[in-house]
Structure 1
Amino acid sequence: MSRQALSDDRVAALVRDAAAAPSMHNAQPWRFRYLRHRHTFELYADFERTMPHADPDTRALHLGCAAALLNLRVAIAHEDRHPETLLLPDPADRTLLASVRLTDGTGGEGDLAALHPAIHQRHTSRHPFEEREIPGAVREALAAAARAEGATLTFPTGWHLREVLELFQEAEARNRTDPGSDQDLTRWTGGDAVSVGGVGEGVPRYAYGPRMRGGKAPMRDFAGVRPMAGREAADFEQSPQLALVSTVHDRREDWLRAGQAMERVLLLATLHGLSASFATQPLEWTDLRWPLRDPATGTGPTQVVLRLGYGPKGPGTPRRPVSHVLDIEP
């Protein structure tokens, strides 16, 4: 039997690792197909899981699928195999985002394999973080992880950080009065077993974190105007540590690179003892997204904003059964 031959259980285990990735509102907008005769995984976008208002161009959907792709590559490298990856392999099929062929040998993927323990440790944390600065060496390691995937990671400071936080305030003010924003949240949040067509998706109430009482951290309140009995309030960071993931261009392949960079950064951050949450509000408004960039550094369009720091690990959120997202073909 070839070393590349995988049992159905191993295929399912690899996809389970891939599907532990984060996605906007935990929509999990991916499907996988394993072609046994080609030793190849194919990753497809599930466009029924879009956010019509917050993500009309499906950029965030691509980021989530790319995070799952990075997890798959990590899991394959952990199996001591090489994930030969091709983005957008069929221009005629918009749903096919990537193919990953398993080949013998690690192919220099040792750094990826080392991230495997973090796949199921990484959870989004919507809790306050300590006012403790991330060491420069850790920041540089995270930036190097993003560069390995063809993206740039920067930590805004000074006037740039103040400007970024002001953009978040503007986006939050718009969201509070915009009916479309609430429609997306209502679909994917609101219960302890949230679901569109079954259990295992969306953001449950236990993962909302405390209501923000004070601080400057750019936190989205998934409860919105809905009352939640017994929910605590807390003070968040006065000096939040944000990281911007940027790309040179703003095409679909750039979104896929940025999503892989985002997840590679998150996995490495987890191994360094950091917690993280996502801050997407200004990214959802076209006119607010471009000013996020730092013109002094000449970075391209911002694809992801991460809040990083030392604090409580967030709870795990539900995942769809592997049988719902995986097909195996001979």
Structure 2
Amino acid sequence: MQSTGPTTLNASEQLHVAAAAAAAPSVFNTQPWTFTFTGRGLEVRTDPDDASMPTASAARDVRLSCGAAVFNARTALARLGLASRVSVLPVAGDPLLVARVDVTGDAPDPALDELYRWVGSRRTNRYPFRPERIPAEVLALLHDAARREGATLRLLDGEPEYQRMLTSIRRATWTEDESVRDDRDARLSPGTGQPAIPAGNLGPVPRREFPDDPPVRDMAEGLGIPGRGSAAFEPRPELAVLETAHDDPRSWVTAGQALQRLLLEATGHGIAASFANQPLEDDGLRPEVSGGAAHYGCPQMVLRMGYATAQPPASPRRPLSEVVRTVRG
């Protein structure tokens, strides 16, 4: 369709888009973004006040999180009947500006409108998954979702690659820097405010029933947070690595958009997901994630996927008044 020029969003539409963007997943639920609406659309920036995790992957994780928010904004605009155009890192002199999402006068992508349906029900699921495998045709759809955003979803379904990944995940967990663990513990402690991830979103404490530790990250190991219980986790989860051709800030934003697209696609097919990024948080271990298939690209996320036994509640979100810094007509 011929473009008819940009469309200005009214206040209600701006809040609709901001709410969708803010529902994106983020590293440790830090929600490291702010949104500014202009006459042309939306600007997504990293929040200079957010305290990212003290890991080697912190800068990458923040921009990846913002990329997921960008994709959600695109789906919300499509639901409003509006197409959009994304410019990643558009201003070299503005390091906080991650992307600009400009509204155009073109017809929206109906696939984005369809994916908007799942924005509110997508969860990071840290509960056990059922033993049945994800059908090949659904995995193909998830692979295609990543590809459409410029990334690759590499499924780990063969040996010795699969066991190599499990070993890397466990090794990274055992050797985690004490400062990282202390930081995470502080974020999970109730203190005077709400913890970053409440007990209902942490999932149960993994029960050890095999010689090796379960291939699931316990974000609150040893904290004794009440209300969690314990459970046996699947010994062989579906694992996949999201990769990009390059490894720079622009690629991290690309990975975030690809991640959110495939997560929304997965949600629509009843597939739950959580993350096993421990090896990516350590520069010394990150090469192990792609060592067996370096030709694919640079690893950005490690996903655990399957059919969940329980649906966690929605993770708490910052008030929109905190993340929408200015609303301009």
TM-score normalised according to structure 2 size:
0.92
Give 1:191 shift.
2.8
Partner letter of residue 69 of structure 2?
A
Q: Which amino acid aligns with 2:123?
A: H
- Cα gap change, 1:138 to 1:247, in 2 (>3 Å): same
Report the AA paired with residue 303 of structure 2: L
Per the alignment, residue 271 of structure 2 pairs with: 274
CA 122–223 in structure 1, closer or farther in 2 if over 3 Å, else same: same
Kindly provide the CA deviation profile for residues 111-164 of structure 1, in whole angstroms up to 9, marking residues without a partner as x: 111101100000111110011110111011000000011000011122111000
On the 8 A contact 2:122/2:263 being kept in 1, the answer is: yes
Contact 2:83 2:106 survives alignment (8 Å) = yes
Greater displacement, 272-281 / 23-32: 272-281
Partner of 1:183: 182
Q: Which residue of 1 aligns with 2:197?
A: 203
The residue that corresponds to 2:256 in the other structure is 259
In structure 2, C-alpha distance between the alignment counterparts of 1:210 and 1:57, rounded to whole Å: 26
The yes-or-no answer on 1:68 pairing with 2:69 is yes
Which of 229, 239, 264 in structure 2 is aligned with 1:232? 229
In structure 2, do the counterparts of structure 1 residues 194 and 117 end up closer, same or farther at CA, with 3 Å as the change threshold?
farther
Superposed counterparts of 1:104-119, under 5 Å: 104-107=105-108, 109-119=109-119
Q: Whole-Å Cα distance in 1 between the matches of residues 191 and 144 of structure 2?
A: 38
251-260 vs 313-322, which deviates more? 313-322
Whole-angstrom distance in 2 between the partners of 1:194 and 1:221: 22
- Alpha carbons of structure 1 residues 229 and 32: separation in structure 2 relative to 1, 3 Å: closer
- Determine if contact 2:240/2:304 at 8 Å carries over to the other structure: yes
Equivalent positions of 1:135-214 (< 5 A) are 135-157=135-157, 158-175=159-176, 178-191=177-190, 194-195=193-194, 202-214=196-208
Code of the aligned partner of 2:295? G
Which residue number in structure 2 is paired with residue 25 of structure 1? 28
1:54-85 Cα offsets, whole Å, 9 max, x none, are 24551000111100000001111111111111
Once residues 105 and 56 of structure 2 are traced to their aligned partners in structure 1, the CA distance between those partners, rounded to angstroms, is: 38
Structure 2 CA distance, aligned partners of 1:194 and 1:235? Answer: 31
Gaps of 5+ in 2: none
Higher mean Cα deviation, 117-126 or 56-65?
A: 56-65
Report the residue type matching 1:168 in the other structure.
I
Change (3 A) 1:149 1:247: same
Contact 2:56 2:282 (8 Å CA) reproduced: no
Give the TM-score normalised by the residue count of structure 1.
Answer: 0.91
Within 5 Å, which residues of 2 pair with 1:43-54? Answer: 43-54=44-55
Query: Given residue 110 of structure 1, which amino acid in structure 2 is its aligned partner?
Result: P
Q: Per the alignment, do residues 217 and 150 of structure 1 end up closer, same or farther by CA in structure 2, a change over 3 Å counting?
A: farther
Distance 2:31 2:281 in 1: 18
- Specify the SS of the correspondent of 2:207: strand
Aligned with residue 318 of structure 2, among 317, 320, 330? 320
Instruction: Kindly indicate whether residue 107 of structure 2 is the aligned counterpart of residue 103 of structure 1.
Output: no
Q: Does the residue aligned with 1:302 lie in a helix, a strand or coil?
A: strand
Long gaps (5+) in structure 1: 196-200
| Contact map agreement 1:52 1:184 (CA 8 A) in 2 | yes
Shift of 1:230: 4.7
Give the corresponding residue for 1:94.
Answer: 95
The range that moved more, 228-237 or 317-326, is: 228-237
Who is 2:18 aligned against? 15
SS class of match (1:49): coil
Which residue type is aligned with residue 320 of structure 1? R
1:195-235 Cα deviation digits (max 9, x unpaired): 5xxxxx72112211100013665322222221234531111
Q: Partner amino acid for 2:78?
A: A
When the two chains are superposed, the root-mean-square deviation of aligned CA atoms in Å is 1.9
Distance between the aligned counterparts of 1:57 and 1:227, measured in 2?
27
**Equivalent in 13, 24, 38 of residue 35 of structure 1:** 38
Q: Is the 8 A contact 2:238 2:305 kept in 1?
A: yes
Distance in 2 (CA, whole Å) between partners of 1:11 and 1:231 is 37
Deviates most, 219-228 or 95-104: 219-228
Once the two structures are aligned, what percentage of the paired residues are identical? 34
Partner AA of 2:62 in structure 1: L
Which residue of 2 is the match for residue 198 of structure 1? none
Shift of residue 47 of structure 1?
A: 3.4
